[in-house]
Structure 1
Amino acid sequence: MSRKGNPEQAVQKQSAPAGVAALERGLSILRTLGQQEGLSLTEIAQRSDLNKATALRLLRTLEQQGFVWRDGRQLYYFGYALAVITRNLSMDNWLASSMQPELDLLAKQTGETASFFNCSGEQRLCVAVAMGWRDVGHRLCTGDTLPMTGASGHVLTEFSDGRPKDYEFKVFQSLGERVAELAALAVPVFSGDGKLLGALGLSGTRTRFQEDEYRQELCAQLGVSLKRIHSAVP
């Protein structure tokens, strides 16, 4: 009399090779990004020796699980889930590295200086920045510490306790507050559980920012950028 095996075990044995193959392909994508981040779907597929359909399917899964994230230019980067697993990357470092592509895009689109600040004691610390392409603008460097003034300072002060239950999107602005010739706009960046992570901002000359139509365009750009950031932040 022949023995009938466990149907569930049989299914597992049959499906295991496919699962292992998918895992290997996913790890291949992560290795590719480990060599160079900021790659497009086509570049990842080519370097990982995958067809685009397979690469896209795997990237979507990796993105959903937080292992990769995609910026507004459809370029892929490591996600925060890897930092949680390895414990080798702090939230601040991850924010700085993950924010940089978005700041680069903001600076390119607007020509103004795009920055990300968080708190450092009683001051604010610039943890990431991208300079704009305009001849006259705001000079700012990563690591600069400034007083809790200006648009970013107001954001960090206003939301130091996190996102209020009745929070509504608002762009903070300052005109000549810290330096007479400069102006800035900023919005808060929150984690999924409402913790304040920092302030995303644009800064430039007061003359440009005083123009209502131009300022509204910058506010809209900040809103779009913030939405992409919040979709990637855990």
Structure 2
Amino acid sequence: MGVLAAQTSSGSSLEGVASAGRALILLSAFRKGDEAVSLAELTARTGLVKTTIMRLGISLEEHGYLIRGADGSYRLGAELFRLGSIYQQAFRAEAFVMPALEKLVAETGESASFYVCSDEQRLCLYRVDSPHRLRLHVRQGDKLPMDSSAIAQVLRIFGTPGQSAPKAATKVPIYTGGERDPHVAGMATPVFGPGEGFAGALCLTGPVTRFTREAAKRASPILVNVAADLTRSLGGVLPSR
């Protein structure tokens, strides 16, 4: 009897895990822009049968994760908004950005920074300096003009609402030399946050005598890969091109 009870308990646990997995699949089926999604559409997106979705929907609705409309369609509930707010408060971008910058410096030898737009200027939010004595001296918190530098171009193109056409046509990373300072070169690429929301510009900078176009070409795949990893860490999605 004890063995039978243990087997029954184990089976129930496995079924509970499977049910939880199906519930998460159902919640993950909702996409940006969805208001209410029909039962047929959820079936197509998840591969779950309608009866399973309806059964899961009852439990999720009881706990505030889903709301079922009079027409049988579903939309996300307020409990997800509450959890999202808690996540945002607990989330610290620095914990992900700084290791990315340190990796860039270790692999390229040039200074790495993360910029965002602020009051029509570009703000150096995070930075790790190059080990070389000859380097650009910019500190975290410094604001610079939105000029023609690679950093400013990325911020302007990807951070400006309604610029979908230029975004699609822009080849990144962008490299410039001597745009703001005749002695400084830079290369930048966008990083994205949740969904396809623009988070900021990830960049490398160095003296034009060392960070030449050829040197930037060698560093380009490193910058792109680190930016992609950082985008995923921030919960973002790389835009389809």
- The TM-score normalised by the length of structure 2 is 0.58
The residue number in structure 2 matching 1:196 is: 198
Distance 2:217 2:87 in 1: 42
The residue number in structure 1 matching 2:222 is: 221
Distance 1:87 1:230 in 2: 16
The residue number in structure 2 matching 1:183 is: 185
Distance 1:115 1:98 in 2: 13
Matched, 1:104 2:102: yes
Distance 1:164 1:213 in 2: 30
Distance 1:136 1:202 in 2: 14
Query: What is the root-mean-square deviation of aligned Cα atoms in Å?
Result: 2.9
The residue number in structure 1 matching 2:154 is: 155
The residue number in structure 1 matching 2:164 is: 164
The residue number in structure 2 matching 1:144 is: 142
Distance 1:115 1:88 in 2: 24
Q: Secondary structure at the match of 1:223?
A: helix
Q: Secondary structure at the match of 1:139?
A: coil
Per-residue CA deviations over 1:68-127 (Å, capped at 9, x if unaligned) read xxxxxxxxxxxxxx984355346xxx2233100010111111111100000101101111
Q: Secondary structure at the match of 1:135?
A: coil
Unaligned 5+ runs, structure 1: 1-6, 20-81
Unaligned 5+ runs, structure 2: 18-82, 236-241
Per-residue CA deviations over 1:144-182 (Å, capped at 9, x if unaligned) read 111112211111111122783736651112211111111
Per-residue CA deviations over 1:40-85 (Å, capped at 9, x if unaligned) read xxxxxxxxxxxxxxxxxxxxxxxxxxxxxxxxxxxxxxxxxx9843
- Give the fraction of aligned pairs with identical amino acids, expressed as a percent: 30
Q: Secondary structure at the match of 1:88?
A: helix
Asked which structure has the greater CA Rg, the reply is 2
The residue number in structure 2 matching 1:231 is: 232
Distance 1:232 1:220 in 2: 18
The residue number in structure 2 matching 1:208 is: 210
Assess if the C-alpha contact under 8 Å between 1:115 and 1:200 holds in 2: yes
